[in-house]
Structure 1
Amino acid sequence: MTQNASRIYNELIKFGSQYSQWSDVRHLGVMAWMMVGMIATGSVNLTKWLSHINTKALIAQSTQRQLSRWLNNPRINPAKLYSPVIKELIAKWKEPEIYLSFDTSQLWEEYSMIRLCVVHQGRALPLCWRVIKHRSSSVEMSSYQDMLKRASKLLPVNVKVVLLADRAFANPELVRYVWELKWQCRIRIKGNFWIYAPKHGWQTVKQLHLRLGEAKLIHNVKVHKTESKRLTDVHIAAAWESGSREYWYILSTEPTTLQTFWEYGLRFDIEENFLDDKSNGFDLESSRLRSAPAISRLCFVIALTTLFLTAQGLAVADSGYRRLVDPHWFRGLSYLKIGWNWIHTAITKNWAFLPFYSFTSYLDSHPAIASRRKHLQKLFRIEFYASTLDYAS
């Protein structure tokens, strides 16, 4: 096990030092061993890592204490160390637009993890994050404005940036800041959201009286009754979906089309990322950490591990080796899981680790099909009959 763990460790040292400048190489070494433990056990529980870590410490308690000190070390700045890695890995983005999924996740009903991700082939790759002690998933803009500003410096140039956010972020301050960053956005809004109709005055979007299967695409809308919060020349896509019978109201900074609903749907890829962090992957909630800075450093280790395994998975699929580690006829696993399986199998069968891949597209030419029935359901597209209105006065 020691030889196998050392082999992964050396690969992770190469990956972790390729783009970031570590002021203390010992910090890099500890982080690489943490990633080894995470890959080996599928858990962030420090105790479970101990049998997979090979350090100079002779007793388990000393190793565990070393890991705990790393997570609580204020000299280790996750944003400073992670930013150059993700910036380099998305620098060769080949699509004309890049979609950013924005959301929060609760930990133990005590901490809120605010995360911004790059939508990438059915999943979302962590771009930046912040952990705060907060009992609600609704957070003030002051909690994440600096994070958005930092993100703007990491994205490839000459690419249209589209921010995708849920109803918790439907506030005018965010839309104005999106404009300031020269981004676009698609934000879901609630049914009681106020818009101004030239012939009817102020009304809520649910008063648009949609029929089942109908979509209304409304351009140049004035929103918010309160003058200090008011926005003008934004756009709304509203629909009542006949399949789920769910209402969809999307605020956009660009004129809406039926494509707007598809674009907003990309936001849900971040849910898969949170699931990978928790029950479907690294079991973040098994961590006994109760400190926001320590949790943020642990998220840094998880994020690097996510990038490493996803890149391996992409390389496996591109090299034609997928079916060696994925039992499905069609791709049934995420690229992260394919990469994870490849690492474990490579250790067992003495296979090579594959050359590293950049992340270049949100489109996936071979989407995962874990279940043929669910895939066919997903392919079934709801057809709206749409009308377009222009509220410009």
Structure 2
Amino acid sequence: MNEYSGLNSWIAIVNQKLPHLSRPQAKVLAMWSFGIGMMQSTGLTTVAVFLAQLLSEKENTVRQRLREWYRDADDKKGTQRQEIDVSKCFAPLLGWVVDKWYSQESQLALGMDATTLGSRFTVLAISVLIRGCAVPVAWKVVTANKPGAWKPYWLELFDRLKHSVPPDMTVIVTADRGLYAEWLYHKIVELGWHPFLRINLGGQFRLLDSHDWITLTDTVPFVGSHWCGVVQCFKTNPLTCTLLARWDKGYTDPWLILTDFLPQTASTTWYGMRSWIECGFKDTKRGGLHWHFTKITDPKRAERHWLAFALGVGAAIALATFWLVSVGSEADATPPNSNYDDLPPDHIARTQPPAKKPTRFLSCFRRGFIQIIVALLLGQPLPIGCFFPESWRSPTAFSSA
């Protein structure tokens, strides 16, 4: 194998960052995620053919190795085979992100949401939100349209992530209004993190020094209005918290956010990061790794496949996304120097006011893929990258509503 192929470097990194995996498990996970990242596909055959040519091995041999990796122990050949417990990778994955997190303000945003794969799967995911992208660090795959509560799954995912973030780091957890629940709010607080949960417009609240209940929509009665304060929210199952409300032009409904921050220490605009998890789901499907073409039908196997995904995004899936977004994030945070100073004194560009918010023409996910491909074609060392979040203090960093 060519020393510049990058695969050997990636195998060594995965071995180091996920030490609880056996060396063979880590190696095949690295192969899966490397192949997913390079091929922009999660297809078993596509990844196997690519790796077979890279390693000068038989296609069927590599294909069988990849397939065995995500199977249950009982479905594997041999008497001492073990299956991957994906949940044990969640804390190391988040710890890996934190280790590569470059933020002067020590702030981290998480998003939680569910995505579906047709009528086959529903994936409950918690992801790190970074520059318009999302890196999955914990997930649960369940059969789609199957009756049952999601609460036990969400609680288990959060329990797996506790102690993965330094106590001096400010962490917010964002979720859309369909996921709000009182138990979720208290679980996030229990971890030492800060809920940033959107709620529906129906319901009432009261100020702590008042007995009068007010309709939630009265906080922002018209476009352009905003309000914040410490309240007791909801007559049934009342919750003492901070209510942030904002209604900006161009939006059908206002944002109503519940958090434990003091009113003057948080901004409703931070909730704009939540939509990035939807961008992350797009990256796993049509916008990037094409997981929607997978032939896998078993939820447990899909969870392991998502691990390679998260590193390239699911076990194989999460790993590839981690890699691509980290490289793209660093490139996005350090764009080439502008040649503005080289322009003539009377150039029209000098008469134009600077844009309030730089336009991101290419996602960090796609930019990372380009950076990696170019480095490998030029025979350069495999780029790994770091995570450079945008400052929360910037009023233009996120969408306002």
Is the partner of 1:235 in helix, strand or coil? strand
Pick aligned residue for 1:237 from 240, 244, 252: 244
1:131-186 deviations in whole A, cap 9, x for unaligned? 22242899532221121122222112311221111112211111122222222111
Seen in structure 2, the aligned counterparts of structure 1 residues 93 and 283 have a Cα distance that, compared at 3 Å, is: same
Give the drift of 1:303. Answer: 0.9
Residue 276 (structure 1) aligned with residue 283 (structure 2): yes
Structure 1 pair 322–127 and aligned structure 2 pair: CA distance change class (3 A): farther
Question: For 2:85 and 2:192, how far apart are their aligned partners in 1?
Answer: 28
Paired position in structure 2 for 1:88: 96
2:144 and 2:121 mapped to 1: Cα distance? 5
Aligned residue for 2:294? 287
Counterpart for residue 77 of structure 1: 85
State the shift of 1:252 in Å: 1.9
Structure 1 residues 374-389: aligned runs within 5 Å: none
C-alpha distance in 2 between matches for 1:301 and 1:380: 29
Alignment check: 8 A CA contact 2:15 2:27 kept: no
Q: State how 1:82-161 maps to structure 2 within 5 Å.
A: 82-91=90-99, 93-94=102-103, 95-135=105-145, 140-161=150-171
Paired with 1:158 and 1:209, the residues of 2 have a C-alpha distance of: 34
Structure 1 segment 16-95 matched on structure 2, within 5 A: 16-21=14-19, 23-54=21-52, 58=58, 60=60, 62-74=61-73, 75-91=83-99, 93-94=102-103, 95=105
CA distance in 2, matches of 1:289, 1:339: 27
What code does the residue aligned with 2:327 have?
Answer: Q
Letter matched to residue 92 of structure 2: P
1:76 match: secondary structure: coil
The 5 A counterparts of 1:239-278 are 239-256=246-263, 260-278=267-285
* 1: CA distance, partners of 2:334 / 2:226: 43
- Listed one character per residue, the Cα deviations across residues 246-278 of structure 1 (whole Å, up to 9, x for unaligned) are 322112222335952211111112111111111
- Is 1:341 paired with 2:352? no
Structure 1 residue 84: Cα displacement: 2.1
The equivalent of 1:175 in structure 2 is: 185
Partner of 1:308: 323
CA contact (8 A) 2:133 2:325 kept: no
* SS of corresponding position for 2:12: helix
Q: Name the SS of the counterpart of 2:196 in structure 1.
A: strand
Find the counterpart in structure 1 of residue 223 from structure 2: 212
Q: Provide closer, same or farther for how the CA distance between residues 171 and 235 of structure 1 changes in structure 2, counting only shifts above 3 A.
A: same
What is the deviation of 1:10?
1.1
Structure 1 residue runs without a partner (length 5+): 324-328, 367-377, 384-393
| Contact 2:42 2:289 (C-alpha < 8 Å) held by counterparts | yes
Change (3 A) 1:256 1:134: farther
Assess if the C-alpha contact under 8 Å between 2:114 and 2:122 holds in 1.
yes
1:379 to 1:50, Cα distance in 2 relative to 1, 3 A: closer
Sequence identity percentage = 21
CA distance in 2 between partners of 1:118 and 1:260 (Å) = 19
Structure 1 position 364, deviation (Å): 9.3
CA distance in 2, matches of 1:380, 1:301: 29
1-structure distance, mates of 2:234, 2:23: 52
Which secondary structure state, in structure 2, belongs to the residue aligned with residue 18 of structure 1? helix
Paired with 1:284 and 1:50, the residues of 2 have a C-alpha distance of 16
Residue pair 1:316, 1:322 contacting (<8 A) in 2 also: no
TM-score (norm 2): 0.78
CA 1:53/1:365 → structure 2, altered by over 3 Å: closer, same or farther?
Answer: farther
Match of 1:8 in 2: 6
Q: More displaced, 65-74 or 279-288? A: 65-74
Which residue is 1:375 aligned to? none
Question: Cα–Cα, structure 1 residues 21 and 87, in superposed 2: closer, same or farther, change >3 Å?
Answer: same
In the TM superposition, what whole-angstrom CA distance separates every residue of 1:178-221 from its partner, at most 9, and x where no partner exists?
2222221111111113323676744541355602221222x231
In the alignment, structure 2 segments of 5+ residues that lack a partner are 74-82, 312-319, 339-357
Asked if the contact 1:242/1:382 (under 8 Å) is kept, the reply is: no
Distance in 2, Cα, partners of 1:141 & 1:238: 26
Conservation of the 8 A alpha-carbon contact between 2:223 and 2:247: yes
Task: Name the amino acid aligned to 1:288.
Answer: K
Aligned pair in 2 of structure 1 residues 179, 250: CA closer, same or farther (>3 Å)? same
Q: Which amino acid aligns with 1:84?
A: P
- Rate the CA distance shift 1:275–1:191 in 2: closer, same or farther, 3 A: same
Deviation of residue 287 (structure 1)?
A: 0.8
Q: How many residues align?
A: 359
